Structure 1
Amino acid sequence: MAIYEPLVQQLKLQVRMNVRARAVELKTSPYTADAGALQKGADFVRAFLLGFAVADAIALVRLDDLYLETFEVGDVRALKGDHLSRAIGRIAGKDGRTKYAIENATKTRLVVAEAKIHILGSFANIRLARNAVVSLILGAPPGKVYNKLKNVAARLNERF
């Protein structure tokens, strides 16, 4: 119901699950008022399927300036075996602390799914989070990334 209600109640879309094709099908209805409702609905479903929480995916429906970016660790640097595992471990951090620090400092949401990283947030904040993740992939120690994020967070708070 948490997935169904935003699509049907807010966006006024028709939704069905095609079991044979294993796809969620969205269609506008005569009650659909917003021209971009179909795109918002598709982004919402995609964000949920990538692993974001339902509450975070609902933010895509409600806010206009939220985007979803996906990249692979291999896009940044070709890593294999234990080197890839260590890079993913640096991104996650001990008990997820590094990931949460990046999320809180840049006001984004991160999902690390094997070698893929998904970032949800505003355009400028995605860029800051991507820079932090890329520096971790390239081998920067987490302490150095924390300090950069602390400075970035202080600048963001000053601006508003």
Structure 2
Amino acid sequence: MKLYTPLVENMKLQVRMNLKAKCVELRNSEETADSGAVQKGADFIKAYALGFEIQDAIALLRLDDLYLDSFETKDIKTLHGDNLSRAIGRIVGKEGKTKFTIENTSRTRIVVADTKIHIMGSFQNIKIARDALISLIMGASPGKVYSKLRTISSRMKERF
């Protein structure tokens, strides 16, 4: 119901689950006002399927400048075995501290699913978070990444 309600009642879309093809089908109805409602609905369902929380995915329906970006750790650097698990450990940090710090300073949401990393946010904020994640994958210490994020966040505060 948490997936169904925003799509049908707020966006006025028609939704059905095709069990044979194992996909969710969306289409406009007569009451649909927004021309990009189907695309927003598809992004909403994709975000939920990638692992974002339902409240974060609902933000895709409400705001126009939110995007999803996905990449794999092997796109940045080819890692295997213990080296790969250490890189993912650097990204997540102790009890998720590093991931939450990157999310809060860059105003994004991050999902780490095995070797795939998914980021939701505005275009500029995704770039900030992605640069921080890439430096962690390449082997930078979390302290060095924190200091870079601190300078970037202070610049962002000056701009607004």
Task: Give the aligned partner of residue 157 of structure 1.
Answer: 157
Distance 2:45 2:98 in 1: 27
Aligned length, in residue pairs: 160
Residues 95-106 of structure 1 aligned to structure 2 (within 5 Å): 95-106=95-106
Q: How far did 1:154 drift?
A: 1.1
C-alpha separation in 1, matches of 2:151 and 2:22: 45
Q: State the Cα distance separating 1:21 from its structure 2 match.
A: 1.4
Match of 2:124 in 1: 124
Deviations 1:60-115 (A, max 9, x none): 00000000000000000011111111111100000000000000000000000000
Structure 2: runs of 5+ lacking an equivalent: none
Aligned equivalent of 2:93 = 93
Aligned to 2:144: 144
Tell me which amino acid in the other structure corresponds to 2:27.
K
Give CA-to-partner distance per residue, 1:13-60, whole Å, 9 cap, x none. Answer: 000111121111111111111110000000000000000000000000
Provide the rounded CA distance (Å) in 2 between the counterparts of 1:45 and 1:11.
13
Structure 1: gaps (5+ residues)? none
Deviation digits for residues 112-137 of structure 1 (CA, Å, limit 9, x no counterpart) = 00000000000000000000000000
TM-score for the superposition, normalised by structure 1: 0.98
| Coordinate RMSD, CA, aligned | 0.6
What TM-score, normalized by structure 2, do the two folds share? Answer: 0.98
Q: Is 1:28–2:8 an aligned residue pair?
A: no
Partners of 2:53 and 2:158 lie apart in 1 by 29
Fraction of identical pairs, as percent? 62
